[in-house]
């Protein structure tokens, strides 16, 4: 993944890559409460 990021940044796509990272982070933040519920019910 890091190799791909370097290639994309080298191709001038750094801002799109930053937007992708932000999107992944926001999705992960939204998934945390759901995952917590799943794990708590499993225990």
- Per DSSP, helices labelled H in 1-43 are 2-10, 14-42
Mean local confidence (pLDDT), 19-24 = 95
Contact in structure between 5 and 17 (CB atoms under 8 Å):
yes
Contact in structure between 17 and 8 (CB atoms under 8 Å):
yes
Q: Phi and psi (nearest 5°) for 26?
A: -65, -40
The structure's pTM equals 0.68
Q: Phi and psi (nearest 5°) for 3?
A: -65, -40
| DSSP label at residue 33 | H
The whole-number pLDDT of residue 37 equals 86
pLDDT at 39 over 90: no
């Amino acid at each position: 993944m890091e190799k791909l990021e370097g290639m994309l940044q080298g191709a001038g796509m750094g801002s799109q890559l930053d937007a992708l990272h932000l999107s992944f982070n926001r999705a992960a933040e939204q998934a945390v409460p759901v995952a917590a519920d799943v794990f708590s019910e499993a225990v």
